């Protein structure tokens, strides 16, 4: 376990495991990372998506919505470790490699609470990720890095977003100003001015990504998501709902800012729907209006705070929503909207890849947060490292 | 951050922070560790006890006893980090040293759940410690090691007790068979046969230590504990209560075994008291009976499973209870009962010192669990390591 400069001097193979606010499951990406003298490079070995068992999804959702016993929190902490280890095993099996041949695994963990709002009052925001890192490391025989957000929160940062360092390392351009957009449960953007240095990167959450679209699609159509945006495309705008959505102050609040499932909750959505819908409103109109809101809130954030970008590189599950991408192009006609696949990054694996990279940075002794992005007082090496087989000396 | 054999080759100064099931506060110990060629050595630099604020104690107790929001769990996770960092700062200030001059800090964390009972069914038991390790590392600028129990649980162990490795390293004797006893909220013993190897060590929880004595003292006398055992000494045995206590199967269950606040809960005690007390019973008789139960359950465990020991080295807050120590001597007349002070270990700092030592082992790349004690399938390097200033390269 000679981590630091020595460790990062050799090419390394890492897995990253991401589970987002949509609570749908785990994305695993395996990639090689190295430095070619001028820039850092990565090469994706493969990726894999594993659905959470329905009961686990339900239990995680309940954790957000009602009081629970500490026994249930502990049970989920371990059940998520089981799922995490199993997802890495499955991904490795599909790639024909052994989990303990990985140099390390970066695990985001399941965010069950995130509240950076009170950081001005007490000097730091707080958050909580579940998923026992030590158990994953022991079961797979590999070093595991996780809890990436706490160190940034501890220094007064929002603890999010953390993808921007990855964006800077691999998606910045010497000629163009580039924006990246991740459409997970929450949507976030990174702004990379042409030839920017890390301290010039800006990034923030813009509002809901798929969270409310998925919730309404489940509510009205009994489906987990609006595939390709086909339902939304068939609907029309519901003016009262639209007006109510425009009142949500978070969208136009200046960055740095981050949000989560607590704020864009199901109960808030249900309240909005109850206040604005009449019995005559077709269900697809609701999905249409929520999809427009996601597109508008992203566009509004780029217009207000994004400077002049020439490219928007889209990733996350929402990048599969063709109608949403059309709306983005409509909202921002001067922008070239691309999926991240064009850069060797499968849209659904980008965040998993990012946490593999953040683990690479931590074990290399390098900071992983960008204070310009999170608002932290300093840049620091992120995370905690769970001893695995790599720990043996 | 070159941890492992290289790191442990030099003398190291570590702090350990312990907060037990009594929920009274934090104990911090600072010690130097080194190897003198034949054996490991330690030298205590100093120690410090910090009381939890009453509100925090109440919130932690509620967490065990009723459903709570995940926000409350997250708040406590961070509030415990604040208390941990502050306790180390206070201890260091009293000793005239800087926290970032420590090589590392071992943090036990606050156990809010521990259940090894179902490990036979699913292959592992589970537990949960709160106290954000990353935040403590960042605030103090020092590497922090914590979550020591998970790795052992993950390999099918009880995750407890973990003090025995310390006992073996520093309290074993070449001539005598030694038992150690820690009287915290829960009581546990370690058996060190003369000239034993690590795999010959046995240890287990015997039942309640001070947990029920403290709870009843608070209930009937409004005091946090029965100082020196003076209340108990003034009382007499309550036969009905005594008979009910003897029915608790855990005491005579063969080791390995561990227990916690969930099993020896306030509500179980209150139930027992309601079933067995009449209005005529003096309150000091209750304390007397519960104190006798602690002494008897320790003695019964040593008689049934302890082999023939010649010395009992007592530590933990309960070692201040002179009446309890008298009862132990009465129960086991052939045993020499000593306080751990005789070995340079303040009774209240022993566990803190132990977790400093376990952090020393982890960073040295050495296993920290004893499979003969915990029942784990293998011995492993324990814990997770949070990057602090020491992480910089």
Give the tens place of pLDDT for each residue, B145-202: 999 999 999 999 989 889 999 999 999 999 999 999 999 889 999 999 999 999 999 9
- Which residue, A207, A382, A358, is CA-closest to A290? A207
Q: What confidence tier does B262 reach under pLDDT thresholds 50, 70, 90? A: confident
* Closest Cα in chain B, distance from residue A126 (Å): 7
CB A15 within 8 A of CB A47: no
pLDDT on residue A393 = 38
CB A273 within 8 A of CB A241: yes
Residues of B in contact with A145 (CB under 8 A): none
Three-state secondary structure along chain B?
Answer: CECCHHHHCCCEEEEEEECCCCCCEEEEEEEEEEECCCCEEEEEEEEEEEECCHHHHHHHHHHHHCCECHHHHHHHHHHHHHHHHHHHHHHHHHHCCCHHHCCEEEECCEEEEEECCCHHHHCCCEEEEECCHHHHHHHHCCCEEECCHHHHHHCCCCCCCCCHHHHHHHHCCCCCCEEEEEECCEEEEEEECCCCCHHHCEEEEEEECCHHHHHHHHHHHCCCCCHHHHHHHHCCCCHHHHHHHHCCHHHHCCCCCCCCCCCCCHHHHHHHHHHHCCCCCCHHHHHHHHHHHHHHHHHHHHHHHCCCCCEEEEECHHHHCHHHHHHHHHHCCCCEEEEHHHHCCCCCCHHHHHHHHHHHHHHCCCCCCCHHHHCCCCCCCCCEEECCHHHCC
pLDDT on residue B121 = 80
Residues of B in contact with A127 (CB under 8 A): 74
Q: What confidence tier does B390 reach under pLDDT thresholds 50, 70, 90? A: low
Residues of A in contact with B137 (CB under 8 A): 151
- Tell me whether residues B113 and A68 touch, CB distance under 8 A: no
The residue-averaged pLDDT of B247-274 equals 91
Is the dihedral angle over the CA atoms A287, A289, A293, A295 positive or is it negative?
A: positive
pLDDT on residue B23 = 84
Q: How far apart are CA A181 and CA A302, in angstroms?
A: 10
Nearest-by-CA chain B residue for A65: B69
CB A134 within 8 A of CB A387: yes
CB A142 within 8 A of CB A390: yes
The b/e string for B277-311 (b: 16+ C-beta within 10 A; e otherwise) is beeebebbbbbbbbbbbbbbbbbbbbeebbeebeb
Q: Which residue has the tokens 């351009």?
A: A173
Listed range (A92-96, B5-9, B103-107, B369-373) with the worst mean pLDDT: B5-9
CB A16 within 8 A of CB A352: yes
Q: How far apart are CA B82 and CA A392, in angstroms?
A: 32
In Å, how far are A134, A182, B27, B218, B299 from B106, measured between CA atoms?
A: 15, 38, 12, 31, 31
Q: Residue A256: is the preceding peptide bond cis (ω within 30°)?
A: yes
- Tell me whether residues A134 and B150 touch, CB distance under 8 A: yes
**Residues of chain A whose pLDDT is less than 70?**
1, 389-393
B132 touches chain A (CB under 8 A): yes
CB B148 within 8 A of CB B354: no
* Closest Cα in chain B, distance from residue A136 (Å): 8
A-B CB pairs within 8 A amount to: 167
Task: Tokens for A306, please give them.
Answer: 């994004």
CA A7 centroid distance within chain: 27
B75 touches chain A (CB under 8 A): yes
B133 touches chain A (CB under 8 A): yes
pLDDT on residue A258 = 80
Q: What is the pTM of this model?
A: 0.90
pLDDT on residue B37 = 84
Q: How far apart are CA B25 and CA A158, in angstroms?
A: 30
* B175 C-beta neighbours (distance < 10 Å), count: 8
Q: How far apart are CA B251 and CA B138, in angstroms?
A: 42
In this complex, the residue of A70, A126, A262 whose CB is nearest that of residue B68 is A70
pLDDT on residue A389 = 57
pLDDT: is A390 or B254 the higher one? B254
Contacts of A21 (CB under 8 A, 6+ apart): A111, A184, A185, A186, A211, A260, A261
Task: Tokens for A182, please give them.
Answer: 């991740």
Q: What confidence tier does B65 reach under pLDDT thresholds 50, 70, 90? A: confident
Residues of B in contact with A113 (CB under 8 A): 70-71, 73-74
% residues pLDDT > 70 (chain B): 98
CA A269 centroid distance within chain: 21
What structural domains and CATH numbers belong to chain B?
5-159+349-391 (3.30.420.40), 164-343 (3.30.420.40)
Judged on CB neighbours under 10 Å (0-12, 13-18, 19+), B393 is middle
- Longest distance between any two alpha carbons in chain A, whole Å: 69
pLDDT on residue B116 = 83
Residues of A in contact with B115 (CB under 8 A): 71, 74
* A10 C-beta neighbours (distance < 10 Å), count: 9
Q: How far apart are CA A161 and CA A203, in angstroms?
A: 7
B181 forms bridges with which residues in the sheet? B189, B314
Residues of A in contact with B64 (CB under 8 A): 70
B117 touches chain A (CB under 8 A): no
């Amino acid at each position: 376990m000679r981590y630091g400069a020595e460790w990062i001097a050799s090419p390394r193979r890492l897995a990253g495991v991401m589970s987002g606010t949509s609570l749908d499951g785990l994305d695993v990406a395996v990639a090689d990372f190295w430095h070619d003298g001028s820039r850092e490079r990565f090469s994706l070995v493969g990726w894999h998506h594993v659905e959470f068992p329905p009961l686990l999804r339900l239990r995680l959702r309940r954790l957000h919505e009602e009081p629970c016993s500490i026994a249930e929190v502990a049970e989920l902490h371990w059940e998520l470790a089981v799922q995490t280890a199993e997802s890495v095993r499955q991904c490795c099996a599909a790639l024909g490699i052994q989990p303990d041949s990985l140099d390390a695994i970066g695990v985001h963990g399941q965010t069950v609470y995130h509240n950076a709002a009170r950081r001005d009052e007490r000097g730091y925001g707080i958050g909580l990720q579940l998923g026992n890192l030590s158990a994953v490391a022991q079961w797979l025989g590999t070093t595991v890095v996780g809890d990436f957000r706490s160190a940034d929160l501890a220094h007064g940062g929002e603890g999010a977003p953390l993808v921007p360092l990855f964006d800077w390392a691999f998606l910045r351009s010497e000629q163009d100003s580039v924006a990246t957009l991740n459409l997970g449960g929450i949507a976030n953007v990174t702004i990379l001015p042409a030839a920017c240095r890390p301290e010039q990167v800006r990034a923030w959450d813009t509002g809901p990504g798929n969270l409310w679209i998925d919730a309404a699609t489940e509510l009205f159509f009994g489906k987990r998501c609006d595939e390709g945006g086909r339902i939304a495309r068939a609907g029309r705008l519901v003016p009262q709902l639209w007006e109510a959505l425009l009142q949500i102050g978070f969208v136009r609040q200046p960055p740095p800012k981050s949000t989560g499932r607590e704020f864009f909750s199901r109960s808030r959505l249900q309240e909005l729907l109850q206040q604005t819908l009449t019995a005559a409103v077709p269900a697809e109109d609701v999905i249409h209006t929520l999809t427009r809101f996601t597109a508008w809130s992203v566009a509004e954030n780029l217009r207000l705070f994004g400077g002049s970008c020439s490219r928007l590189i889209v990733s996350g599950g929402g990048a599969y929503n063709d109608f949403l991408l059309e709306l983005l192009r409509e909202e921002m006609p001067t922008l070239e909207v691309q999926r991240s696949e064009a850069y060797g990054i499968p849209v659904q694996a980008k965040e998993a890849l990012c946490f593999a990279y953040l683990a690479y940075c931590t074990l290399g002794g390098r900071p992983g947060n960008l204070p310009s992005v999170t608002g932290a007082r300093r840049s620091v090496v992120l995370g905690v490292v769970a001893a695995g087989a790599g720990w043996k000396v």
